């Protein structure tokens, strides 16, 4: 870390955020006991509508991995004439490593049927997360612990419904399995057995991270027994607050979560110098995290006050774990998010073999013009099934080129 001397530790940052907030807390409107909110799900992330300071309608990701509300685009805070009490340099995973952020206080945050008053909010100077670009929809921020600490939060990924219930009024319903979690530094942790391909078994302490798209992340630095398998592929494994996160992707033989046993699960193994995240790590030692690719196979209920989680498998439970069958990472650009630029090509992948390069822009995909597509559809086509033929027309510095590739599972 070149700028480590400039960076606050997370514990100090969170202390300041806590003490500067006034009358922090969410409550349900009209003394309701329960509120249901329609959600959108993009790349396993849950997106909800919010209104900031009764004026600005935005969309935020619901994230169990962060404490304080984050606004990723400072432009919106400036539109609302928000004042800032402090400026910080914070550390995040990725090549950028550290970025500037501001704290604004006494913010009102409204969801349908729910109002939060007196919140502190972290405002990023630059949007290195590029949520709207990598999700292909307008997403402006992240909402975390403040919501989960106040209500029982049920996420139904298939019905696309978020249900908030007052703590004393919650009933789990049939077929849900209750599992203990531990809330440490505002984040939920669970201990689960993992079997690696070489037969090594561990009981890993993992953060339950609804704000991560991947299925599982295991940190080799946390335990000598955690190693990427020999056939793992090196790749960009995610986008953090500081840019791209590098690492390896490989499979583990099995993961047990209560009575559920998932086989051949994909896991990210981050490079140690690429994954530093003061917003997510906190001061708690852990072995990694489970994210949306696993969570979305269940209806999930988070009960932070009683430190437990409820799971019930859904129709996606038995689907296979596939990793980026094309080898392409694409982000959406432009005002309508219909310009699809290739930002990474994994070595030896179908996309690499086909001669695709960083900076190529997809004009036509399997006969569909880019103007008629969304990033969700593009990624769906490029990850549909191994063996599927993909035809593209790409724009490379003004030159139109036809390309063809066959999707393949390298893991």
Rounded to whole angstroms, the Cα distance separating 176 from 153 reads 14
Rounded to whole angstroms, the Cα distance separating 242 from 94 reads 4
Of 115, 117, 121, 118, whose CA–CA distance to 102 is shortest? 121
Alpha helices in 265-365 (DSSP H): 292-295, 350-353
> How is residue 214 annotated by DSSP?
S
- Interior angle at CA 89, CA 88 and CA 91, nearest 5: 130
Does domain 171-295 fall under CATH 2.40.70.10? My reply is yes
- pLDDT tens digit sequence for 126-163: 877 788 898 999 999 999 999 999 999 999 999 999 99
Does domain 4-167 fall under CATH 3.40.1160.10? My reply is no
Q: What is the pLDDT of residue 405?
A: 96
Burial 340-374 (b: 16+ CB within 10 A, else e): bbbbbbbeebbbbebebeeebbbbbbeeeebeebb
Burial 133-167 (b: 16+ CB within 10 A, else e): bbbbbebbbbbbbbbbbbbbbbbbbeeeebbbbbe
Place of tokens 């909110």: 37
Q: Are strands 288-290 and 201-208 parallel, antiparallel or unpaired?
A: parallel
Place of tokens 């099934």: 385
- pLDDT tens digit sequence for 290-306: 999 999 999 999 999 99
Percent pLDDT > 90 in the chain is 75
User: What does the domain layout of the chain look like in residue ranges?
Assistant: 4-167, 171-295, 330-406
At 279, is the pLDDT very low, low, confident or very high (cuts 50, 70, 90)? Answer: very low
- pLDDT tens digit sequence for 49-96: 999 999 999 999 999 999 889 999 999 999 999 999 999 887 655 555
Rounded (10°) CA dihedral 146, 147, 153, 155:
-110
Rounded to whole angstroms, the Cα distance separating 327 from 360 reads 14
Of 130, 314, 289, 320, whose CA–CA distance to 214 is shortest? 289
- pLDDT tens digit sequence for 237-259: 877 665 678 899 999 999 999 99
Q: What is the mean pLDDT of the chain?
A: 88
Domains 171-295 and 330-406 share a fold: no
Q: Hey, is 117 helix, strand or coil?
A: strand
Answer yes or no: are the C-beta atoms of 258 and 291 closer than 8 Å: no
Helix (H) or strand (E) holding 183: strand 182-184
Q: Are strands 288-290 and 45-52 parallel, antiparallel or unpaired?
A: unpaired
pTM of the model: 0.88
Helix (H) or strand (E) holding 298: strand 298-303
Q: What is the DSSP string of 187-203?
A: EEEEEEEEE-TTS-EEE
Does domain 330-406 fall under CATH 2.30.42.10? My reply is yes
Rounded to whole angstroms, the Cα distance separating 401 from 166 reads 57
CA 175 to mean position of chain CA atoms: 27
Answer yes or no: are the C-beta atoms of 275 and 269 closer than 8 Å: no
């Amino acid at each position: 870390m070149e700028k480590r001397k400039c960076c606050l530790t997370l514990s100090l940052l969170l202390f300041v955020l806590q003490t500067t907030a006034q009358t922090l807390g969410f409550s349900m409107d009209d003394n309701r006991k329960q509120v249901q909110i329609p959600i959108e799900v993009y790349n396993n992330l849950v997106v909800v509508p919010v209104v900031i300071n009764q004026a600005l309608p935005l969309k935020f990701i619901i994230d169990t991995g962060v404490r304080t509300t984050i606004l990723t685009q400072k432009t919106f805070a400036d539109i609302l004439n928000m004042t800032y009490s402090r400026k910080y340099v914070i550390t995040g995973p990725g090549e950028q490593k550290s970025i500037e952020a501001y704290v604004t206080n006494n913010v009102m945050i409204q969801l349908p049927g729910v109002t939060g008053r007196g919140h502190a909010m972290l405002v990023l100077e630059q949007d290195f997360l590029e949520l709207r670009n990598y999700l292909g929809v307008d997403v402006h921020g992240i909402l975390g612990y403040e919501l989960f600490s106040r209500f029982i939060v049920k996420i139904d990924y298939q019905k696309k419904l978020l249900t908030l219930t007052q703590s004393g009024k919650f009933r789990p319903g049939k077929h849900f399995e209750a599992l203990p979690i531990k809330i440490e530094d505002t984040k939920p942790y669970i201990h689960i057995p993992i079997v690696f391909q070489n037969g090594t078994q561990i009981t890993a302490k993992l953060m339950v991270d609804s704000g991560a798209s991947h299925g599982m992340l295991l940190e080799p630095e946390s335990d000598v027994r955690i190693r990427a398998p020999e056939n793992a592929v090196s790749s960009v494994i995610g986008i953090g607050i500081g840019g791209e996160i590098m690492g390896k992707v490989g499979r583990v033989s099995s993961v047990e979560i209560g009575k559920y046993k998932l086989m051949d699960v994909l896991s990210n193994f981050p490079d140690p110098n690429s994954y530093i995240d003061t917003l997510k790590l906190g001061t708690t030692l852990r072995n990694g995290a489970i994210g949306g690719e696993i969570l979305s196979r269940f209806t999930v209920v988070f009960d932070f006050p009683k430190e437990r989680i409820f799971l019930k498998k859904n129709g996606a439970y038995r689907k296979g774990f596939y990793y980026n069958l094309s080898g392409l990472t694409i982000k959406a650009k432009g005002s309508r998010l219909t310009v699809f630029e290739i930002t990474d090509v994994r070595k030896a992948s179908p996309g690499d073999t086909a001669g695709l390069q960083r900076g190529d822009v997809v004009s036509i995909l399997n006969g569909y013009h880019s103007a008629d597509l969304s990033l969700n559809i593009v990624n769906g086509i490029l990850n549909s099934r191994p063996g599927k033929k993909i035809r593209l027309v790409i724009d490379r510095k003004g030159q139109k080129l036809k390309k063809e590739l066959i999707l393949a599972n390298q893991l």
